[in-house]
Amino acid sequence: MPDNLSLGADAQVNHTIALMQKENSKGAIHDGARISPDAFFVIDPEGKVKGQFETGDGCALKLSYRIIEPVRWFGLHLPAGSFDLKGKSIIGVICKSQAEHAITSRLCLRSGFEGGFEDSFLPKHLVSYGESSTHIDLIQVEKSDNLSKRALWRELILFLPRTDTEMTVQELKFFVV
C-alpha cells in the first residue's frame, strides 16, 4: 500500500488516510506526534492533552484523550499538496465516525502562502454520536470568499474537540471536483 498511484487534487490526502486505515500504529498524543508519515497532531502550546491514538485494521483513527490544560485548538493535519482550484467546483469530505457520546469537530482546508495561511472551514460541524454515523460537507469554490484558488501548500485539518474525548474516525474521504 505504500505506492501512491492516484492522480488528482485529492490524491495525497486520500493516500495518507488509506495508509492510516491499513497500517497499525499506536502512540501517545502530543504536539507534532506523527500517526503516519504525512499525518500529525498540532496542539495549542498553551494547553496540554494526554492520551493515545491508534490506526489500522480498516479504521483511520481511534482517539482517547483528556484535556489537562485548556487548549484553543487541537488538530489532525493531513498535508494535501499545492493543488490549484481554478476550474474546480467543489471541495468536500465524507466522514464516518463514532464517539462515546455526541461531540463536535470541524474540518477545514488550510491554504499556505509566503508568510502565512488562511483557513476555509467547511460549513457544517462534524457531529460524532454514540453509534456510527456519516457526515458529508462541501464548499462551493466559486461561492467561497475565503478560499484561495492558488496556494503554495494546503492541508486538510480535522479540528478535534477541546474536551475529554473517545472518538473513532472509521473513514475519511476528501474530494475535489
Q: What is the pLDDT of residues 83-135, one digit of tens each?
A: 999 999 999 999 999 999 999 999 999 999 999 999 999 999 999 999 999 99
Q: What is the mean pLDDT of residues 23-40?
A: 95
12-176: CATH superfamily: Galactose-binding domain-like (2.60.120.260)
Q: Residue 129: how many CB atoms within 10 A of its CB? A: 13
Give the pTM.
0.93
Q: Which of 93, 71, 98 is nearest to 17 (CA)?
A: 93
Per-residue pLDDT tens for 57-80?
Answer: 999 999 999 999 999 999 999 999
Gap between the Cα atoms of 42 and 119, Å rounded: 15
Domain limits, the chain: 12-176
